[in-house]
Each structure stands twice: as structure tokens, then as C-alpha cells.
Amino acid sequence: MLHWCSRMEADSQISSKKYAADISSIKEAQKCISSYVHKTLVLSSETLNSFCGRMLYFKCECFQKGGAFKFRGACNAIFSLDDTQAGKGVVTHSSGNHAAALALAAKIRGIPAYVVVPKNAPKCKVENVKRYGGQIIWSEASMQSREEITTKVLQETGGVMIHSYNDRRIISGQGTISLELLEQVPQIDTIVVPVSGGGLISGVAIAAKSINPSIRILAAEPKGANDAAQSKAAGEIVKLPETKTIADGLRAFLGELTWPVVRDLVDDIIVVEDNEIIEAMRHCYEILKVAVEPSGAIGLAAVLSDSFRNNPAWKDCKHIGIIVSGGNVDLGLLWDSLNKAEP
């Protein structure tokens, strides 16, 4: 266990950098959402441990309400609103799990959720939004269309905008994962986290490094959407002209609130191919017996990749927490992908 002074020092170091969230806002988020969210299981597998010669601990956010970690941030954002703000409802644009999470959290509070959804969003995730009572407004697939329609909805409703990742309340809510995980498995020395817009990894990194300054935070990213890796290399936010990956939840770009955290607190980014993600999904199904979407399987794909296993920098990563971020998978897409991956 860390000496108390070490924890205070870590808290001070992270707070002094003035990130969008800090350990205090994350602990407040935990108090705010504790009666609404699931404290998710941590699973392990001797078989998967043997594949990589490490101890792996899977934090199963696929078992969270709404089927993904996004409910934590959405819940914190919605229950942080005062009654006047909440009364007009909340607004967002999302192609996936954030849309459903916000709809569910709004339903629990009894307020409207207006969700701008691009026409190419995965069917299973759209169905979740409908199931939770979200009011869907369709847009074209482009970010320009999504943002323009969202602006119009905000003007018409007077609702509160809840961005899917570039929001202090969202980042703080996602950070509660670290508080749970490091309580459940204190010996963890490394956490592997999917990265997209950066809300999840920002919250996880801030909380984990505040608790244990020496812990390693590694991001996992698909090669077809490797803007975070390119951003780290360039020292500034890089946005790609297009993304192409089976991991539909990992196509967003870093925001101005999440980039500084990724820049400063994420130790490295492991980029994997889609076929590696598909193989990791197969392992999750066949060995862990857990339904995982591509974005949720990418952490395992990263740990099993040659670029991680053969990198001497990570030889001391012995106890690895893997954030299984979600389980909302389009089964038709999954079967097609698995069949294509057959030798």
C-alpha cells in the first residue's frame, strides 16, 4: 500500500496541472452515482494469463447498466444538474453507447433526452436509445451534420448539452472505474484502456495516478483510427480525414479537455489491427464467456499483441487491469467478422 504522503503528493501533482477533472471530482462523482450504477465484476482466466505470461484482470463494464461504461459519466452529468437545468432535458449527439447511457440516466431522473443519431449508427445501439426512451433526431453521418442538428435541437428545447467525452462531469464519472478496480485488485501495476475521444482514459488515468503515481496507463487503439497515437507522436491533436475500423466505438478524436491528460498521463499507446480485435473478441466469448463489442475487446488485443509482449519497456507489467468497456455488439456484424477471420 502506498504511504499517505505519496498519495498526497500524487494528488497535488495532478491537481496542479489543472486537468478538467481531478481526484476530488471523481470521488464526488462516485458519491453521486453509487446508488445508480453497478459495481462491475473483475474476471480472470488462467488460460488467458498463460497466453501472455501475465496476470490479467478484466474490469467488466460490459455488465454496467446500458451495457457499457458510458452510464457512469452520463449518470454523473445528469444527476449533477439542478432542477431548473434538468427540467428542460439534456441533448447530445452520439452514434453509440453514450446515446443509450444518456437516455437511460435521463429516464431514471424523469427528464427528456434528445439524442442526435447519425444514420450509420449500429442498429443494436439505436435500439437501446429507443428502449430507454430517448427522443431520436436523425442526422447524416458527417460530424458537421451531427453538430448542426444538435445546435438546432439545443435552440428549440433549451436543454443542456452533455458531450460524450469532452465534459468534466463525464470524465469524472468514468474515473470511478479506477476507484473500484484498484480497491478490488490493489496489486494492479498497469491498466490498459481503449482510447477514442478520451473521456474514459482521462478519468481512469487521473484517478489511478492519484492513487498510485507509479501505475502505468496504456491506451489501446485500432490502426484504422489511430489519431491518439499520431497525436502523441506529434505533440498536438491530430484529426484523421477518415477512420476505418470494426471498433465503431473508437472513431472519435481527442478533445481539448481530454488531450492534455492523454499527452501527460498516458504512458504509451498500443495500436492493433482489426483482425487482432476480432481474435480477442473470440477469446472473450470462448474463454471468458462474456459478450464483448470490438471496442471492449481491444484491451485484450493490445496485451496479446507482439508490439506489447516484445517491448522490453513493459516487461515489468505483471498485474494488468483491462477495461472491457462495453458489450453492445451487432451480432450480425460479429458473425460476419468471425467468419472472415476463419483460416
- Can you tell me the mean pLDDT for 9-22? 67
Please report the pLDDT score of residue 94 as a whole number: 87
More confident residue, 4 or 186: 186
More confident residue, 10 or 277: 277
Is residue 12 pLDDT above 60, yes or no?
Answer: no
Is residue 123 pLDDT above 50, yes or no?
Answer: yes
pLDDT confidence band for 41 (50 / 70 / 90): very high
Q: Give the percent of the chain with pLDDT over 70.
A: 92
Please report the pLDDT score of residue 122 as a whole number: 79
List the alpha helices (DSSP H) in the chain.
4-16, 23-33, 46-52, 70-79, 83-87, 97-109, 123-131, 143-157, 168-184, 199-211, 227-234, 259-265, 274-283, 294-304, 306-309, 331-341
Q: Which of 7-21, 91-105, 224-238, 322-336 has the highest mean pLDDT?
A: 224-238
pLDDT confidence band for 334 (50 / 70 / 90): low
Please report the pLDDT score of residue 15 as a whole number: 55
Please report the pLDDT score of residue 8 as a whole number: 43
* pLDDT tens per residue across span 237-282: 999 999 999 998 899 999 999 999 999 999 999 999 999 999 999 9
Q: Distance (Å, rounded) from C-alpha 18 to C-alpha 261?
A: 10
Where in the sequence numbering do the catalytic residues fall? 70, 95
Please report the pLDDT score of residue 1 as a whole number: 39
pLDDT confidence band for 343 (50 / 70 / 90): low
Q: Distance (Å, rounded) from C-alpha 173 to C-alpha 164?
A: 12
- Can you tell me the mean pLDDT for 286-290? 96
- Can you tell me the mean pLDDT for 315-332? 91
SS3 53: coil
What cell was used for 204? 481512469
Q: Please, are residues 333 and 67 in contact by the beta-carbon 8 Å criterion? A: no
- Can you tell me the mean pLDDT for 95-106? 92
Q: What is the dihedral of CA 240, 311, 282, 94, to 10 degrees?
A: -30
6-69+167-340 and 70-161, same CATH topology: yes
Q: Distance (Å, rounded) from C-alpha 57 to C-alpha 122?
A: 28
* Residue range 70-161, CATH number: 3.40.50.1100
pLDDT confidence band for 3 (50 / 70 / 90): very low
Q: For the chain, report the end-to-end CA distance as a whole number of angstroms.
A: 47
Please report the pLDDT score of residue 330 as a whole number: 73
Angle at CA of residue 314, ends 313 and 315, nearest 5°:
100
Please report the pLDDT score of residue 121 as a whole number: 82
- Residue 108 phi/psi, 5-degree rounding, is -65, -40
List all residues 6 or more positions away from 139 whose beta carbon is below 8 Å from its beta carbon. Answer: 93, 116, 117, 118, 119, 145, 146, 148, 149, 150
- Can you tell me the mean pLDDT for 24-35? 98
What cell was used for 274? 482489426
Q: Domain limits of the chain?
A: 6-69+167-340, 70-161
Q: Report the candidate in 79, 78, 77, 115 with the shortest Cα–Cα distance to residue 97.
A: 115
Please report the pLDDT score of residue 17 as a whole number: 67
What cell was used for 74? 452520463
Q: How high is the mean pLDDT of the chain?
A: 92
Q: What is the largest CA-CA distance in the chain?
A: 58
Angle between helices 23-33 and 4-16 (to 10 degrees): 100
Q: Please, are residues 293 and 328 in contact by the beta-carbon 8 Å criterion? A: yes
Neighbours of 197 (CB within 10 A): 25
SS3 271: strand
Q: Could you identify the residue written with the cell 458531450? A: 163
Fold of 6-69+167-340: Rossmann fold (3.40.50)
Please report the pLDDT score of residue 295 as a whole number: 96
Q: Distance (Å, rounded) from C-alpha 67 to C-alpha 79?
A: 19
What cell was used for 20? 478538467
* pLDDT tens per residue across span 157-212: 999 999 999 999 999 999 999 999 999 999 999 999 999 999 999 999 999 999 99
